[in-house]
Chain A
């Protein structure tokens, strides 16, 4: 039996959408064609087409007076008409669609890579549920921000590692795009879409606000994940438990939910998450101060592990600020260890996605490519999407690799005078001492990271 999937939609979404849907279903029944119609009306999307439905369909009918996205129908025979046409003569529309499928007329849909990737992703996502699904939703929305931001920053280094300090320069503009815009949005987007996945649209505002606060209190992406889950579940709970009289119900989505949920999440982040985060950071910093005279290799090991632990969170920042602080005292070893350890997480993940494709989702494999550039540019954030998606396995892996890199860098007595820049500092004379050994330390750490990922990450079930 032939199968057709259809989408109906009209501007007000009250009547035509459903009449068209009914017409198509009726006609299909008469013609002995299997039909599933997704209605995009005023109550939102109903009877949503699954990946499976679309895959099985011989043809697609879009009967809409609104803009219905084509992306998910790439490679299918599509007949697109006004919604009224489906109401008027569904039968000939179905014939038209089947004819088109018969002739093999495929409609080229310029689905961008992101679209395909997220489709692929959602296929696997469908098999998973609960917190994991929410986390993955957040990560897949965050990913473009990481890539756009990371590559913009890397590009700014091409003009010289300090070029971005020159106000009005292109390098500064790139840094503004990548650093203070894309990367600033990264954690709010992660948190916002985790919450969205849990509580639908009302989750976005408290989630993003919570994520923004996670950033500003220095809690990094782990803080963002906490904010996202908090926001999602709190909003969901509020949605289910606040009962307003019917004539006031209109106030729920516009006033009550966004305000209450954002207030609760905001206060929790500031008063409950904020103080321990700050405590961890200052505690770790003073602990590191006391270690200055300790065994150099041990210090490198610890600094390295810290860099990879939360990538932008309090632990990472403590290690980084400690090392940058030492530059003023002309102690260059820890800086070198820290930068090397910050480069290996994205590099190790990039290598792992290349070598062990069956342990990563398609989206991750694609994200592995820009991760190379972020790695060599010392943009540790390139590893965040991987870590956020599977923290329990990825974080220990990258910590091990970074720790070894840090230790080796210290062992080889490498010194670094610049606080950032990755590979772009290497051509500058006298910035790095023992360059050859430095490269060796980074390569070793990358390989260890990859090896650890191979060990810890299970094969994905197909």
Chain B
């Protein structure tokens, strides 16, 4: 199981257009839909919103990780988006979010996929990992960083 099995350059958007929380979630899910990761966009949006209601996935330090577990997801995948201007995501620390990871997994997932996602999540806690993502020039560089987790 390699990182590039659930993220590739097509799933990376360096300049998110959205200005608020709801639209950035939809924008990220749109990326998943374009890459045929998900079968039912509306269902995935609904699930993502439900998750946010239980508690924001804006975990602070400029990071948000909306995620969805649903039958409308074909395979585990991660979409990455960056907003240099920052988006008010209702984060814990009330700061703007710049790095967005949308994680989608099917209801029945293999442990190895989940473990890799767990590994990605763990890395987000580290300052230097986040900084390198903020400074990355293009999707290729982001991929390089992610492949080295």
Residues of A at the B interface (CB closer than 8 Å) are: 10-19, 21-23, 26, 39, 41-44, 65, 82-85, 87-88, 249-250
Q: Is the CB–CB distance between A88 and B122 below 8 Å?
A: no
Q: Is the CB–CB distance between B54 and A65 below 8 Å?
A: yes
Q: Is the CB–CB distance between A88 and B59 below 8 Å?
A: yes
Instruction: Give chain A residues whose Cβ lies under 8 Å from the Cβ of B126.
Output: 22, 26
Query: What is the minimal beta-carbon distance from B98 to any residue of chain A, in angstroms?
Result: 16
Q: Is the CB–CB distance between B54 and A14 below 8 Å?
A: no
Tally the A-B contacts, defined by beta carbons under 8 Å: 83
Instruction: Give chain B residues whose Cβ lies under 8 Å from the Cβ of A85.
Output: 92
Q: Is the CB–CB distance between A19 and B122 below 8 Å?
A: yes
Interface size on B, residues (CB 8 A): 32
Which 5 residue pairs across A and B have the least CB separation, nearest first?
A22-B122, A18-B118, A18-B121, A250-B108, A22-B125
Instruction: Give chain A residues whose Cβ lies under 8 Å from the Cβ of B117.
Output: 14-15
Q: Is the CB–CB distance between B67 and A84 below 8 Å?
A: no
Given contacts A16-B121, A88-B59, 10 further A-B contacts (CB under 8 A): A14-B67, A15-B103, A15-B120, A18-B122, A22-B122, A22-B126, A23-B125, A26-B125, A26-B126, A83-B55
User: When A65-B55, A85-B92 are in contact, do A14 and B125 touch as well, CB less than 8 Å?
Assistant: no
> 1/0 per residue B96-117: CB within 8 Å of A?
0000010101001111001101
Q: Is the CB–CB distance between A15 and B57 below 8 Å?
A: yes
Interface residues of chain B: helix, strand, loop or mixed (majority):
mixed
Choose among A11, A41, A88 the residue that contacts B114 (Cβ–Cβ < 8 A).
A41
Instruction: Give chain A residues whose Cβ lies under 8 Å from the Cβ of B123.
Output: 22
Q: Is the CB–CB distance between A14 and B69 below 8 Å?
A: yes
Name the CB-closest residue of B to A90. B125
| B18 at the binding interface (Cβ < 8 Å) | no
Query: What is the minimal beta-carbon distance from A88 to any residue of chain B, in angstroms?
Result: 4
| B56 at the binding interface (Cβ < 8 Å) | yes
A249 to B65, CA, bound (A): 28
| B60 at the binding interface (Cβ < 8 Å) | yes
User: When A19-B124, A84-B92, A88-B60 are in contact, do A11 and B118 touch as well, CB less than 8 Å?
Assistant: no
- A selection of 26 A-B contacts at a CB cut-off of 8 Å is A11-B51, A11-B54, A14-B103, A15-B65, A15-B67, A15-B120, A15-B121, A16-B57, A16-B59, A16-B65, A17-B118, A17-B121, A18-B118, A18-B119, A18-B122, A19-B65, A22-B125, A39-B118, A41-B114, A42-B105, A42-B109, A43-B115, A84-B56, A87-B125, A88-B60, A88-B61
Instruction: Give chain A residues whose Cβ lies under 8 Å from the Cβ of B122.
Output: 18-19, 21-22
Q: Is the CB–CB distance between B54 and A19 below 8 Å?
A: no
Q: Of residues B60, B93, B119, B125, which shows the largest number of chain A Cβ atoms within 10 Å of its Cβ?
A: B125
> 1/0 per residue B19-41: CB within 8 Å of A?
00000000000000000000000
Q: Is the CB–CB distance between A19 and B125 below 8 Å?
A: yes
Instruction: Give chain A residues whose Cβ lies under 8 Å from the Cβ of B60.
Output: 84, 87-88
Name the CB-closest residue of A to B109. A42
Query: What is the minimal beta-carbon distance from B86 to any residue of chain A, in angstroms?
Result: 17
A88 to B62, CA, bound (A): 11
